[in-house]
Amino acid sequence: MLSPDKARTIAEALVERGIAAGATAADALYVGQGSSGVQVRLGEIEGVSRSEGEEIGLRLFVGQRSATAASSDLSDEALVTLVERCLAMAREAPEDPFAGLAPGELLQRGDLPFLDVVDGCEPDSIALRARALQAEKAALAIPGITNSGGAGASTSASIVALATSGGFSGSYRTTGHGCSVSVIAGEGAAMQRDHAWHSAHHLDDLESAADIGRRAGERAVKRLNPTRPKPGKYPVLFDPRVSSTLLGHFCGAISGSAIARKTSFLQDKLGQAVFASGVTIVDDPLRTRGLRSRPFDGEGVRVARQELVSNGMLNQWIAESASARQLGIQPTGHASRGVGGAPSASPSNLYLAAGTRSRDDLLATFPEAVLIIELIGQGVNPVTGDYSRGAVGFMIRGGQISEPVSKITIASNLVDMFATLEPASDLEFRRGIDAPTLLIPEMTVGAA
């Protein structure tokens, strides 16, 4: 894996080769990744892994025609072949009136923002093994836990470098640490499984292995002896474990490509109230130590904190250059890509801001409700917003978490869900996309 400076240099050189060969514009993306991990089960090591790899992707334009090719071989001979192959593909590609690099005036210039996403600590396999064993031991110590699905600990690093013929060149490094455990509660047909995990850029920010293990064990035991509620209309609360999935549907609906193709249930909602008053949704790629922080987007465009929704009002779409041109807007700094394809729009550190009422207050809002902790299936229509998914959770009675429920479905429409949801005050930044507990006043609950 190359250093950030060397990765940027090879990306710049590849762009220069593409232009010299006859391309009218070019960009190159290098991605290098390395990771180590240890997996254990029932106190014994099940696996020790170490991987390292790197790839570089080249995108060449010939007028309004373009193509992308990638290689994991960075030798001079291989890169010459890569340029030749990519250029030949671009000349045969159909014309696209919206193809092209990002506008030069939007590119990141000068020093990159400091994001504090690199940790100098790299635990060895002994330390990783100890962390995994501690997590599993804590989970197995919970009364009612009968077996282990295994635990793991990992450390990783990645390098990203991007260069374009439009004048951008930049690179950055990130590191990561993780811990996870899965356990089983109960016996025979009554067994229930659950898990817990955490990841962070810095080891100091990683939750303790013992806490992760205890949480996994407690979750599994609480799921024993599930029932099914009587079918009907219920208030439904989405636990933070699953509430962020609603933000995923929201981002898909405001992506430039979906809007340009007219395949979004929020198609005509720009500038309108989409959520209830008081709801704010923020995308912040510059958050210090954020899991998805980045100093520039996948096209080299400078990035900034943006309120996608303010007080319930939808402020903007998210778009990379191609879909932005289709919509007649500027790229929004949300381009995301791999080495083998064109950019698409994706959020960074996305979150729905905390509300004013506590989680306990929301639980007590109705005499009876359903709390969802796990979602199953993909029953969401991005064109109409129709929503129907399998779910697992708990009944809420008198404001208290009661018996577990499983093999149920929850259904509604995302337009109605967004318009009526209320966030609790329990927001935590633990993932790349975060939301607090969310209350939907009414959904249809049935048997799966």
Q: What is the pLDDT of residue 415?
A: 98
Rounded to 5 degrees, what angle do the CA atoms 267, 273, 275 make? 95
> Is CATH 3.30.2290.10 correct for 4-220?
yes
What are 386-392's contacts with CB under 8 Å, separation 24+? Answer: 386/411, 386/413, 386/414, 387/249, 387/411, 387/412, 387/413, 387/414, 387/417, 390/448, 391/448, 392/223, 392/226
Q: Does the pLDDT value for residue 448 go beyond 80? A: no
DSSP 3-state percent helix, strand, coil across the chain (nearest 5): 25, 40, 35
β-bridge mates for residue 370, sequence order: 236, 395
State the DSSP string of 187-237. SGGG-EEEEEEEEESSGGGSPPHHHHHHHHHHHHHHTSS-B-PPSEEEEEE
Closest CA to 231 of 54, 41, 16, 410: 410
Place of tokens 């609480």: 222
The domain ranges of the chain are 4-220, 226-448
pLDDT digits (tens, 9 = 90+) for 255-309: 999 999 999 999 999 999 999 999 999 999 999 999 999 999 999 999 999 999 9
CB-CB neighbours of 358 under 10 Å: 15
CA distance readout (Å), 105 to 26, 230, 301, 330:
17, 59, 9, 11
Closest CA to 236 of 373, 430, 404: 373
Tokens of 414: 């995302």
Q: Does the pLDDT value for residue 10 go beyond 90? A: yes
Q: What is the pLDDT of residue 229?
A: 92
Rounded to 5 degrees, what angle do the CA atoms 209, 191, 154 make? 25
In whole angstroms, what is the distance from residue 117 CA to residue 171 CA?
13
Whether residue 390 contacts residue 372, with contact meaning beta carbons closer than 8 Å, is answered with no
Q: What is the pLDDT of residue 394?
A: 98
Closest CA to 330 of 344, 342, 318, 340: 318
Residue 437 is given by DSSP the state: -
pLDDT digits (tens, 9 = 90+) for 55-65: 999 999 999 99
Closest CA to 440 of 229, 232, 238: 238
In whole angstroms, what is the distance from residue 368 CA to residue 398 CA?
6
pLDDT digits (tens, 9 = 90+) for 230-260: 999 999 999 999 999 999 999 999 999 999 9
Side chain identity at residue 102, one-letter code = A
- What is the pLDDT averaged over residues 440-447? 96
Q: What is the pLDDT of residue 288?
A: 97
Q: What is the pLDDT of residue 447?
A: 86
Torsion, Cα 141 143 149 150, to 10 degrees, reads -10
- What is the pLDDT averaged over residues 370-388? 96
Average pLDDT, the chain: 97
